[in-house]
């Protein structure tokens, strides 16, 4: 019992792992100067992506005064370079199309995708912890409402369906029996021309609304600490590059500051498996981790991210990039590990493919680097669809050779030539196994037989609607039963692209309540809120469909902002 009494809390363990624990003689905050007179607002919002700007809209809707602090040089965060899709249940688009999205089925679907280890349809809360299930309930119950309120405020109109190349609503990523509403949950902002707007358009509309209500978005303003009085968060300390100053927040502080995808140290300490880097804005370095620790926040899962793949040669932690392999182009293509073995259906969505790099077997991460292998026909018919370069272009990330043995020799040479310093942080060098060429020959031979038959007996390639949505139209010369499979020319010129696992951002951090309140050991921390990728993910470890990052960020950001605004004693009736 004595040992148990001194066991460190989860927050303390996070602090220890992140190197953020308090040490004697070291101030608990990086802020050392608070020289300017305090500025006062009802709500301070940290970050300027979809979660943060939705929080600003929620607060402004109560009549609160809001200031937005963005540490980066441009607004919009990772949202600005995204597709701007939000995954919302029972939304207005679905209702207009007559698509039923029943509550109990949607909750079961979210629970199964997000918590596959705990999911039990017969158990209370589907087997989930009550707090986690409550967030899913809130997401279903309030999601469509929040989108409607944003529209009424004229902050942003999320009424455009996310459409695939064939004009159909984009399908969800899992076809479980619980998912009876497969299409329609992905929605986008309505652009000025009436079409669907990308992430840039989503940010533009939210920014315009904030500006119309007198809210300033301050760039290059990094929040480095909280002001805490009598256990309540009453403001922030901001570093604008020249000095630190205090901003008082009478209602609360809402973090929508992004995850830690661009912090090599935090990635390596917390994320499972080898993770090469992240896409999106480089300013996502996990500021809320340290701030949350100092505030006494309870942390949820710290191992979760939104998984993807990137070309090995293209990984760059310090550049704003969306060069993830969002879809794997080509029908005559396989993806194998260093042993020459397939590990997943290649046409699966990015999140599932990203997870394959985390597999640990035979005393190693066997899929640390995966190799996309394709033939000349695929290079010509799918040229220009990243990562396959346009026809005639020379691309450093493509290795080529005549036949399997020629390719294996060239690929092995490329891998051996890469120094440790040239590998992304967290990814050790790899080499091909001694029997790679022979195993790859057998893998492709088997794949070719299955392609002729139109059935992938190993991974079910071509069995899910989302695979066809990402693939695009059938190749004109592919008359086989499965449009997503075509035999590779074993004896001709073959090509290989090296892929590593990445996260386009993490979704790990402090736990939140149903109003976006950041939780401490004794309940909500007064005046402190979080939404989006900087907090423990609403969907757990899962990604139920396109927009599963932006959707929760917007919904819980708005709820947090509205709650914080209503807390301010200076706020009267909503305006």
Q: How far is CA 34 from CA 39, 240, 247, in A?
A: 12, 12, 10
Q: Which among 56, 36, 31, 58 is positioned nearest to 46, based on CA atoms?
A: 56
Q: Which among 558, 571, 550 is positioned nearest to 529, based on CA atoms?
A: 558
Residue 113 DSSP class:
H
Q: Which among 279, 275, 210 is positioned nearest to 47, based on CA atoms?
A: 210
Q: Quick check: pTM over 0.85? A: yes
308-503 to CATH, choices 3.90.700.10, 1.10.240.10, 2.40.30.20, 3.30.70.100 = 3.90.700.10
The answer to whether 82 and 554 have CB atoms below 8 angstroms apart is no
Give pLDDT, residue 249. Answer: 97
Three-state SS for 498-513 is: EEEEEEEEECCCECEC
Helix axes 436-453 and 403-417, enclosed angle (nearest 10): 130
Q: Which two tokens stand for residue 380?
A: 């010509």
Helix axes 199-212 and 50-60, enclosed angle (nearest 10): 30
Give pLDDT, residue 272. Answer: 85
As a whole number of angstroms, the distance between CA 202 and CA 569 comes to: 31
**CA 152 to chain centroid:** 28
Q: Which two tokens stand for residue 321?
A: 């990039």
Give pLDDT, residue 18. Answer: 52
With a CB cutoff of 8 Å and minimum separation 6, the contacts of 376 are 489, 492, 493, 495
As a whole number of angstroms, the distance between CA 503 and CA 521 comes to: 29
In which residue ranges of the chain is pLDDT below 70? 1-37, 321-322, 572-575
Residue 124 DSSP class:
G
Strand ranges (E), 128-275: 160-161, 186-190, 196-197, 216-219, 222-229, 232-239, 244-255
13-21+35-304+507-567 and 308-503 share one CATH topology? Answer: no
Give pLDDT, residue 37. Answer: 63
Domain ranges in the chain?
13-21+35-304+507-567, 308-503
Give pLDDT, residue 390. Answer: 97
Q: Which two tokens stand for residue 480?
A: 């086989």
Give pLDDT, residue 428. Answer: 83
Please report where in the chains the tokens 């979704």 appear, as a residue: 507
Residue 533 DSSP class:
G
The answer to whether 505 and 78 have CB atoms below 8 angstroms apart is yes
pLDDT tens per residue across span 552-571: 999 999 999 999 999 999 88
Strand ranges (E), 265-315: 305-311
Which alpha helices (H) appear in 482-546, and where do they start and end? Answer: none
pLDDT tens per residue across span 380-395: 999 999 999 999 998 9
pLDDT tens per residue across span 112-134: 999 999 999 999 999 999 999 99
Is the CATH code 3.10.20.70 the one for domain 13-21+35-304+507-567? Answer: no
């Amino acid at each position: 019992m004595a040992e148990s009494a001194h066991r460190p809390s989860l927050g303390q363990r996070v602090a220890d792992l992140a190197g953020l624990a308090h040490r004697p003689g070291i101030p608990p905050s990086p802020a050392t100067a608070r020289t300017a007179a305090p500025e006062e607002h009802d709500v301070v919002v940290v970050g300027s992506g979809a979660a943060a700007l939705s929080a600003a809209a929620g607060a402004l809707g109560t009549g609160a005064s809001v200031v937005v602090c963005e540490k980066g040089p441009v607004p919009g965060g990772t949202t600005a370079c995204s597709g701007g899709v939000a995954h919302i249940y029972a939304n207005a688009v679905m209702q207009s199309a007559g698509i039923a999205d029943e509550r109990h089925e949607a909750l079961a679907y979210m629970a199964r995708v997000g918590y596959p280890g705990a999911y039990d349809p017969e158990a209370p809360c589907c087997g989930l912890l009550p707090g986690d299930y409550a967030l899913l309930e809130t997401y279903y119950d309030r999601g469509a409402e929040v989108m409607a309120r944003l529209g009424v405020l004229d902050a942003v109109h999320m009424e455009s369906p996310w459409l695939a190349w064939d004009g159909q609503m984009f399908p969800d990523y899992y076809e479980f029996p619980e998912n009876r509403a497969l299409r329609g949950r992905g929605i986008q902002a309505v652009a000025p021309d009436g079409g669907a707007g990308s992430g840039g358009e989503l940010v533009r509309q939210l920014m315009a609304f904030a500006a119309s209500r007198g809210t300033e978005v301050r760039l290059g303003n990094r929040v480095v600490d909280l002001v805490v009085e009598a256990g309540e968060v009453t403001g922030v300390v901001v570093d604008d590059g020249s000095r630190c100053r205090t901003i008082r927040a009478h209602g609360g502080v809402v973090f929508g500051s992004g995850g830690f995808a661009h912090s090599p140290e935090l990635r390596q300490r917390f994320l499972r498996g080898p993770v090469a880097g992240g896409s999106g804005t480089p300013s996502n370095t996990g500021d809320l981790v340290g701030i949350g620790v100092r505030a006494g926040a309870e942390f949820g899962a710290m191992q979760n991210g939104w998984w993807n793949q990137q070309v090995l040669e293209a990984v760059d932690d310090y550049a704003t990039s969306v060069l993830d392999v969002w879809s794997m182009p080509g029908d005559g293509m396989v993806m194998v590990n260093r042993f020459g073995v397939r590990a997943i259906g290649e046409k699966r969505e990015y999140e599932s493919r990203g997870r394959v790099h985390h597999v640990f077997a035979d005393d190693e991460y066997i899929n640390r680097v995966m190799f996309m292998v394709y033939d000349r026909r695929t290079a010509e018919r799918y040229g220009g669809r990243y990562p396959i370069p346009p026809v005639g272009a020379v691309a450093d990330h493509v290795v080529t050779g005549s036949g399997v043995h020629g390719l294996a020799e060239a690929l092995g040479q490329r891998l051996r030539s890469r120094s440790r310093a040239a590998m992304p942080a967290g990814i050790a060098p790899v080499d091909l196994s001694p029997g790679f060429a022979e195993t790859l020959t057998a893998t492709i031979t088997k794949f070719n037989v299955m392609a002729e038959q139109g059935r992938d007996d190993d991974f079910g390639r071509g069995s899910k609607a989302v695979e066809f949505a990402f693939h695009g139209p059938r190749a004109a010369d592919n008359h086989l039963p499965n449009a997503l499979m075509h035999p590779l020319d074993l004896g001709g010129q073959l090509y290989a692209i090296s892929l590593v696992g990445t996260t386009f951002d993490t979704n790990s951090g402090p736990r939140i309540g149903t109003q976006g309140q950041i939780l401490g050991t004794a309940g909500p921390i007064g005046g402190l809120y979080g939404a989006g990728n900087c907090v423990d993910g609403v969907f757990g470890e899962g990604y139920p469909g396109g927009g599963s990052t932006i959707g929760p960020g917007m919904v819980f950001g708005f709820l947090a902002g509205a709650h914080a605004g209503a807390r301010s004693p200076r706020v009267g009736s909503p305006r």
